[in-house]
Amino acid sequence: MVKRLFVYCLLLLLLPTGIHAQRQKVQRLPYVDQRRLHFGFSIGTHIQDLRFVNRGEAEENGETWYAEVPGFSPGFNVGLVGDLYLCEYLNLRFTPTMHFGNKNIVLREEVSDARRTVNVKSNYLSMPVSLKYGAKRLNNYRPYILTGVSPTLDLAKKKNDLLRLKPYDTYLEIGLGCDIYLPFFKLIPELKFCFGLGNMLEKKRNDLQDPLDYKFTRSQKKIASQMVVLSFYFE
């Protein structure tokens, strides 16, 4: 116990010295954050997911179907960024982005364990508007958190799928990242969690070739979209 206390006290004594030593480093791009308006671009990867609210009600023939996304397939995203300086700690950001990905939905019957798989490809055009709160800069690093909303349109055409999703949704976004100041630009890794606010289930299915397939739509009460997005911004 005494040895542990000694180590803790030693660390507390060395911490201010370490912070002071770090503050002596030359800051790259010292005035870059004071720009009123600047632009950039981003590339990254993401995972698309769906949250199902199953009815759990049996059909006339006794079948009860459930839906799930058992695994994830990473997708690709690319976008632009416009950043408006509000004050020392706040920025308003507009980051239109294209997300290319897909989801495998497994439909399973409760008793017989019969399964049907639906591959849903999505090309999302998202238009996020976010408020970014940055911490005080330490040398060439500045962590931040952000929150915002993102109207999103799915540009992929879907016909005759057993489950069909609506093309439009609005996401609530929460993220965190870090500004890394390099000699000529800022590199910003960012992890963002996106939660769809609407019910994406398309209930009008006049496009189904087999009317019996409507049971899969009827088995669902609500489908909500979710995404986890890892982006790298260059500004």
Does the structure show a pLDDT above 90 at 192?
yes
Lowest-confidence segment of 39-43, 44-48, 200-204, 223-227 by average pLDDT: 200-204
The tens digit of pLDDT for each residue in 111-130 reads 888 888 888 889 999 999 99
Look at residue 76 in the predicted model and tell me its pLDDT.
Answer: 96
**Cα dihedral angle (199, 200, 202, 207), rounded to 10 degrees?**
180
Work out the pLDDT band at 24, boundaries 50, 70, 90.
low
Work out the pLDDT band at 36, boundaries 50, 70, 90.
very high
Does the structure show a pLDDT above 80 at 21?
no
pTM: 0.82
